[in-house]
Amino acid sequence: MKSKKSSQSKTTLLAKVFGSNWFFGLIVIFFLLQTIWIAFSGIYPMLFDEEYHLGIIDIYSRQISPFIQVQPPEAAFHGDITRYGSYLFHYIMSVPYSLITHFTHDLQTTVIAMRLICIGFVIAGLFVFRAFLLRAGLTKSLTHLAIGFFTLIPLVPFAYSQINYDSLAFLMIALIFYLALRAVEKTDKQALWIILLLSTSSLASLVKFTILPIAFANVLFVFIVLWRKSGSKMFKKLFVQFKKLPKLPLILSLLLLFIGIGLFTERYGVNIVQYHAIEPKCDRIHSDEECVQYTVWRRDNKWKQNNDMIGLKRDNPLVYTATYWAPHIYGDYTVTAAFVYPPGQSPQIRYLPTKMQASAGAPILRAGSWAILVVSVIVLALTWRKLPNRKLRYMVALTVLIYATSLWVRNYTDYLHIGAGTAAQGRYFIPLMIPMLAIVGLAFRHILKRMRYQAAFLVVCLLLLSQGGGIATYILYSNSNWYWENGRQTINSVNQSARNTLKLFIVR
């Protein structure tokens, strides 16, 4: 009897610790410190297209309108920026960029300041995801642990310490999940939440066009839930709610919806009508002479010409997925890399070094993460129907299914055209990782009923992440070539000291 009470008290204590606000605060602060250090130390451009994003931000800073009718000559470096869909991040960031460059023209200062703003978007996204999971019925302890493990995935602090639309996309996706959940709750304001969901989804798709399937999945989920409850009467119920909404929230939400739908139609609607594509390729709009200055277009065309010349046979979908797509995406989570400048070359806004140094990460973390993935899939399969939080589970499952399918179709279609795999990157799934980790946590909590088993599994996960989790991978495998020249000695000294400590317990 005493041992049972002791076990219950330990359970309560752990739940209180992990579920406390200060524990979540520590997670946020630690993540903030990781990303800030990478933002201050990593030379520009970092791995994920920083030169692309900052260059377009620089062009937008010269005008007030979000629409570019005729792009300037230097824009050829970025491909097409007149009809591309993912422009809202660049337009928004042109405002602080203009303010920063008003006071300084130093590229390093500008880049670091812009990176910090992007980190701010991610931090806001963590809070929204927390609100979403708690509203979905998860305990504070499980919510905080899911977010905590998320921040310790090596790719996460590395990818989210850069100037990239992924940071704002992370926040927007969190908002889409939250608004979709509010829209299916029993309340007399469902109509308002649906309007906000549609508005946010329209605008979010203009931050990054790959948000489209995520937005579609969440809107579809809301429709299915409401239809199952009320059938065709749901439209009448929503209209009645709509008429009863307070005037000010109604006017503001409709204004936001009008702006969102208008901008969405101007970009994607016109693209479909005029170019028969949501995101038309560069050469559909500009000459080959202009497009050849764009790295991605030049690379893809070169690969296609070479592969077509030798008659390279394309793999079937199963082989492509098993040997390239899935391993590349999941393997990315432990990877770190940097572009290396040739001697005498200094950073410029529109310059991409051709040399890259990369590491697959710590071997134990790499192998262990694959083992955890396999076990997680098995546990989910065994416990899925028995798990609580049904709405959350099916919302996330539907979103992951539609998003992964759309991404795979796009990647495989490009592969068939080019003859080489491109754009299969783990960072594209990062915005879905927190709710996915939360559901995996639910499954393990269900199958490991006893507290000591749950604690043991938690210890195993933490020991695994001690082998290069978070910023540790970046520190372990980076070198002085990865850092800003101005301050390189200090950065290298700090990282070397940290590296010497990490080498004591991390197997390389």
pLDDT digits (tens, 9 = 90+) for 426-479: 999 999 999 999 999 999 999 998 888 888 999 999 999 999 999 999 999 999
* Cis status of the peptide bond prior to 347, with omega within 30 of 0: no
248 pLDDT more than 90 = yes
DSSP string of 425-444? -GGGGHHHHHHHHHHHHHHH
At which residue do the structure tokens 């990593």 appear? 42
Structure tokens at 179: 């608004």
pLDDT at 8: 53
Average pLDDT over residues 307-330: 94
Cα 114 to Cα 421: distance, rounded to the nearest angstrom: 31
**DSSP for residue 350:** T
Q: Phi and psi of 130, rounded to 5°?
A: -60, -45
DSSP string of 137-203? T--HHHHHHHHHHHHTSTHHHHHTTSS-HHHHHHHHHHHHHHHHHHHTSSSTTHHHHHHHHHHHHHH
297 pLDDT more than 60 = yes
Residues with Cβ within 8 Å of 336's Cβ and at least 6 positions away in sequence, in order, are 154, 158, 358, 359, 361, 473, 474, 477, 478
pLDDT at 452: 84
DSSP string of 42-76? BPSS-TTTHHHHHHHHHHHTT-SSS--SS--GGGG
Cα 496 to Cα 494: distance, rounded to the nearest angstrom: 5
pLDDT at 445: 93
Average pLDDT over residues 341-363: 91
What Å distances lie between residue 444 and 8, 205, 369, CA to CA? 19, 34, 16
pLDDT at 197: 98
Cα 123 to Cα 117: distance, rounded to the nearest angstrom: 10
- Residue 403's nearest CA partner among 150, 218, 128 is 218
Residue 375's pLDDT band (cuts 50, 70, 90): very high
pLDDT digits (tens, 9 = 90+) for 397-410: 999 999 999 999 99
